[in-house]
Structure 1
Amino acid sequence: MALTGVLRPGHVSIRVLELEPAVKHYRDVLGLIEVARDAQNRVYLKGWDEQDHSSVILREADEAGMDYMGWKVDSPATLKKLAADVEASGLATDLSWVPAGELLATGERFRFTVPTGHVMELYAQKDIVGNNCGTDGQDVNPDPWPDNLKGIAPSRFDHCLLYGDDLDGTVKLFMEVLGFGLAEKVCLSENKDFMIGAFLSCSNKAHDVAFIRQPVKGKFHHASFELRSWEQVLRAGDILSRTKTSIDIGPTRHGITRGETIYFFDPSGNRNEVFAGGYIYYPDKPPITWYDESLGPAIFYHDRKLNEAFLSVFT
């Protein structure tokens, strides 16, 4: 069955305190490809195997964090339908249409704020630039990967983990309006119906976005990028060490999603993750449930204990 509706996370706009040190980090250490800069001095980057124009937008600001997360849908008709559904649900606020071209190479976007305070947007069109693996950069007789990759070199932007207060409202919007599935959840052992974490998928991935219940609005825990193997995650650790990049935790494994991971910070304090592994998710798969008493192995399967800084540091 083909994916329909919301296809995948398409882009994330990240606020940074100083633009050029951030560009150096995301381009030379993380290893994204710089694609363009616009008249607003925003910098556009992409993973090497992403076909679309860009997936990460950097903007200099006085406060670090996430401006918004964008979701690509399968058609302009779906964009209009989902926009109407979001509006009719009453679950979102600050609804607006952003005209085509406001973001380089991107069609019109429908923007809204979810109950946890995060700004989301849906769009149907973004220019395809290819991945430089085949003839003329397109998928004609392609090689497995392009030449001249830098740094860690993830293949794509994969997901975000976000902190906010109204977890229930946000999960309701993503599941009942946007059609996401609940792959995994974290609940209180003393109240098994009370979720403190939700891992949501619009595809076959273990998650495309995750939300953690915290008494804050609109906070950004991390943006994650996909690698091909555990060996690549270990290599990422070596690159982070030799470039003196601030490492948060890892390499290690998650219990939740089964992913192999390492976390680190950009120069503005925004957390990044590169990961490999996980499992294939289908909509008929029952959600995996974790309880708060097992949060140690749920988050860090090897240590089997919580890391307070990992839980409390966000932008």
Structure 2
Amino acid sequence: MALTGVLRPGHVALRVLEMGPALKHYVDVLGLIEVARDKAGRVFLKAWDEHDHHSVVLREADEAGMDYMGWRVDSPATLKKLAADIEKSGLASDLGWVPAGEHPATGERFRFTVATGHVMELFAEKDKLGNDCGTDGPDVNPHPWPDNLRGIAPSRFDHCLLYGDDLDGTVKLFREVLGFGLAEQVTAGPDGSLMIGAFLTCSNKPHDIALIRQPVKGKFHHASFILGSWEEVLKAGDILSRNKVSLDIGPTRHGITRGETIYFFDPSGNRNEVFAGGYIYYPDKPTITWTEQELGPAIFYHDRKLNERFLQVFT
């Protein structure tokens, strides 16, 4: 059965303190490709194997963090239906439409704020640029990868981890209105009834968005970009060290999602991740539960203990 409804993460819009150092990081070190700038000074980027026009938006501001996260849906009809469903649910606030063209090469977007304070948006139309792999056209007789890749060169933007207070309300909207599955959860309390972490998927990945319960609103933990193998994660560590990038932790493995990972910071303090591995998720797969007592190996399987900076530093 084909994926329907919400297809995948479409873009993440990040605030950076200075555009010059941010672009050096995201283009030269991480290896994203600049595709456009607008009159407001925003810069639009994509990873090499993304066909959509862009997946990362950078805006210079006085405070780092995330402006919003966008999700691609399968059709304009689905966009209208989900917008109506969100409004009817009462689980979101600040609902409204962003006109076509406000992002370059992008149709209208439906924007709303979820219970954890994060701004989300849905869109159905964005121009396809391709991945420069085809020899006889964008998608004809392609090579495995394009020439002239830079830096770490992830193939796509993969997911975000976000911090907020009303985890229950946000998870309810994503599951009951947008149709996401709960691949994994972290529980706490004497009877394990308090969800403190949710790993949600709209595809067959172990997560497309993750949420952690914290007494804050609208905080950004990290944006993650996918690599092809554990070896590429290790090479990313070499590239980060060569460029003296501030490292958080890794390379290591997660218990949650089984993914291999390394975390690091952009010059503004926004955390990035490069990620490989994981497992295939289908809707009939039982939800994996991690208990609070095993949170160490759940997050960092090799060390089996928490990095306090990982828990306490966010933008």
Answer yes or no: same fold by TM over 0.5: yes
Q: In which range does the TM-score fall when normalised by the shorter chain?
A: over 0.9
CA positional deviation for 1:20: 1.1
Equivalent residue number for residue 72 of structure 1: 72
- Contact map agreement 2:166 2:213 (CA 8 A) in 1: yes
Equivalent residue number for residue 171 of structure 1: 171
Tell me, in whole angstroms, the C-alpha distance in 2 between the residues paired with 1:67 and 1:268. Answer: 14
Equivalent residue number for residue 213 of structure 1: 213
CA positional deviation for 1:192: 1.4
Equivalent residue number for residue 83 of structure 2: 83
Identity %: 82
Q: Deviations over 1:210-247 (max 9, x none)?
A: 00000000000000000000000000000000000001
TM-score w.r.t. the length of structure 2 is: 0.99
TM-score w.r.t. the length of structure 1 is: 0.99
Counterpart residue type for residue 153 of structure 1: A
Q: CA RMSD in A?
A: 0.7
CA positional deviation for 1:139: 1.1
CA positional deviation for 1:189: 4.8
Between Structure 1 and Structure 2, how many residues are aligned?
Answer: 315
Change (3 A) 1:137 1:16: farther
Equivalent residue number for residue 282 of structure 2: 282
Tell me, in whole angstroms, the C-alpha distance in 2 between the residues paired with 1:264 and 1:294. Answer: 24
Greater shift, 135-144 or 122-131, is seen at: 135-144
Q: Deviations over 1:131-154 (max 9, x none)?
A: 000036611000000000000000
CA positional deviation for 1:191: 3.0
- Poorly superposed stretches of 4+, deviation over 2 Å: none
Tell me, in whole angstroms, the C-alpha distance in 1 between the residues paired with 2:239 and 2:134. Answer: 27
SS at match of 1:192: coil
Counterpart residue type for residue 267 of structure 1: P
SS at match of 2:193: strand
Tell me, in whole angstroms, the C-alpha distance in 2 between the residues paired with 1:217 and 1:152. Answer: 32
Tell me, in whole angstroms, the C-alpha distance in 1 between the residues paired with 2:36 and 2:244. Answer: 27
Equivalent residue number for residue 182 of structure 2: 182
- Contact map agreement 2:135 2:143 (CA 8 A) in 1: no
- Contact map agreement 2:263 2:274 (CA 8 A) in 1: yes
Change (3 A) 1:41 1:137: farther
- Contact map agreement 1:189 1:291 (CA 8 A) in 2: no
Tell me, in whole angstroms, the C-alpha distance in 2 between the residues paired with 1:80 and 1:32. Answer: 31
Equivalent residue number for residue 27 of structure 1: 27
Q: Deviations over 1:44-85 (max 9, x none)?
A: 100100000000000000100000000000000000000000
Equivalent residue number for residue 17 of structure 1: 17
Tell me, in whole angstroms, the C-alpha distance in 2 between the residues paired with 1:226 and 1:280. Answer: 15
Tell me, in whole angstroms, the C-alpha distance in 2 between the residues paired with 1:140 and 1:193. Answer: 52
SS at match of 2:13: strand
Q: Deviations over 1:258-281 (max 9, x none)?
A: 000000000000000001000000
Greater shift, 131-140 or 158-167, is seen at: 131-140
Tell me, in whole angstroms, the C-alpha distance in 1 between the residues paired with 2:192 and 2:109. Answer: 38
Q: Unaligned regions of 5+ residues in structure 1, if any? A: none
- Contact map agreement 1:131 1:137 (CA 8 A) in 2: no
SS at match of 2:152: coil
Counterpart residue type for residue 231 of structure 1: E
